[in-house]
A and B are shown apart, each in its own frame.
Chain A
Amino acid sequence: MINKSLKQLSTMLAEKQVSSVELTQAFLTRIDQHNQAINAYISLDHDKTLAQAKVADAMLASNTASTLTGIPIAQKDIFVAKGWKTTCGSKMLENFIGPYDAGVIERFDAIGAVNLGKTNMDEFAMGSSNETSYFGKVQNPWDRSRVPGGSSGGSAAAVAARLCAAATGTDTGGSIRQPASLCGLSGLKPTYGLVSRYGMIAFASSLDQAGPMAKSCEDMALMMNVMTGFDERDSTSLNREKEDYTRGFAQLSADKPLAGLRVGLPKEYFAEGLSADVAKVIETAIAKYRKLGAEIVDVSLPNTMLSIPVYYVLAPAEASSNLSRFDGVRYGHRAAEYTDLMDMYCKSRAEGFGAEVKRRILIGTYVLSAGYFDAYYLKAQKIRRLIAQDFAEAFKKCDIILGPTAPSTAFKAGEKADDPVAMYLQDIYTIAVNLAGLPGMSIPAGFVEQDGKSLPVGLQIIGNYFDEARMLQAGHAYQQVTDWHERMPEGV
């Protein structure tokens, strides 16, 4: 049961082969067995979860159910959820109880999905390895000595280890796609503005976007059908007509399902820095796309390398502003001893934030400080436009872009922890998508053998604005002829 797709689970619930309470209990039992080792969840509340499952069963009995009613979903601990501890992976919010529901949480609640628990994450979503969480590291279920990626590493590990049917994540510079790649699952960062950021604890507001993490493109499409939609409480939410993201699946022909699809390969994504093993897997996946009828064209994204410096100016600048709200006055950690108000602010923030968060706040404060604004922040905003223009040029020649999600498979825990620059380079292929506000996703494309373990490799699909349905269709076609997405790690 734990390995079924969302559609299969939905059918089982509709046909009363299983109740939501039984299904939820099955996942809770697995969580009880395995979470201590993997550390995928920060907060669990079996009573609350089972109460939601009962509500779902009532909806199923009264024919008011929709596709995901009764299905247990894990929520990244960045989403405020009423009555649930909401920590954002930080000591700063260790004791914060959500007083309201985030837009994303509301949407799942409204259709009767079950909140299984809040998943572990890099502190305030800052990290690429899930080693910066105040609540401890998450282990990659494919090899416990390796990282699951970050910052949605808890959600990724939970899906990979089948400790939930699907999960939510957020992606500021690759935080859905990179952990999806490292954990062998499918993850989608939608077009900026498509999913409400209301109640999603802000890291870098012009880049953050929530999205689904699941086993397959079909599962992600069903999640997107719930998660997307206008929210007037989020001033960046886009008022667009609701879409059915599964609509392209039935149109795929059996022979050449991707005939007519132009697939762009950016040469900069296959240059120095990409592991040879990962490159081989990606090339095999591209050959499969050609076989499915897609036309492969060469494109160029010449400013790819600049996306990292631009990101590490803009994201910390926005973070330094967003995190200024944590001052120990109204909520969050307050130091036990202080002399005056200023001392209370400084000590509370020094004690409440971890090293990586403090580093980024300091960078942000520096690049925004008097005398440096033009040289850093304004310069970065200008290059951001050049990066977005690169994509606009590329999309004149192709419909989607394919490439690796991450330059390597999962690395060992601690391997890059002391070298922030090496860690930041993990997101070289994902960051530009956030800067341009485009949708991007990662799907499993194969495995690399390393130290006697099979480690997953992710294929990244980048689309034009609001083209998620076509991206999911292209991913679904690939998943119809491959089984990488169905594999699960042994021992969990």
Chain B
Amino acid sequence: MSTLAPGARRKSKAGWNLLGLLVFVTAGFPVYWMLNTAFKPAKDAIDPDPSLLPTGLTLGNFSRALDIADFWGPVGRSLIVSLSVVAIGVVVGTLAALAISRFAFRGRRVVIVGILAVQMVPLVAMIIPVFLLLNDLDQYDKLSGLIITYLTFILPFTVWTLRGFIVNIPKELEEAAMVDGCSPTGAFLRVVFPLLAPGMVATSVYAFVQAWNEYLYALMLLSQKNQTATVWLGNFTTKHGTEYAPMMAGSTMMAVPIVVLFLLVQRKMAAGLTAGAVKG
């Protein structure tokens, strides 16, 4: 096909590869520097001429990070909040996604526009009324209050992505099952659900990550004694300055599990998020 000689082709590829590696280094540097600082002795972190390569390996920063403020409390609370949000979000979201992707009904368009529109409202704009609402409902500084508010941004997201996964499952499969004597519910449970399950897992993980990472509501709607993991990171900055090495250890503990989860599902998610976008 190509008129280029094999040698020239390889050479042109080498140039692109070099550029690609440059992107790799630039984009990866902040992550590398976080890990590097987390594991290096704290005194080496405050060297005005830091060494780019690791200088000795220590876990001291991690134990210091765990000492500075209670770590497992915030992590436990973050887990409770995120898992609850995912459980409610995915069940309720699947039902709604089924409605808008498998049924034609009057008002469908309005529902779709509504679900999309609420994603546009910036969280910060909502914080004042949400704060007052939770105050009135006696839900301020309670995890249940935070869970409800997280649903405002998790639900539209789960509905829209699950819709993307559902429309990729051919309707004919359900129809065939019903011809064979399944009820609509039976057809869903036996045919659609198994095919949808991987999409539901990916959506759950993604929603979990979003809920886990949320900062503003967690900061505003919970007091210090009930803080979640993202807010916990703020404990390293005091008026006496910032303890960077333990802070990077804390950051590592927060980021690594999330990034690993993310790596596992990102390919599937990108497919779900953009399902139909190009074809359209």
Same assembly: no
Binding site for B on A (CB under 8 A): none
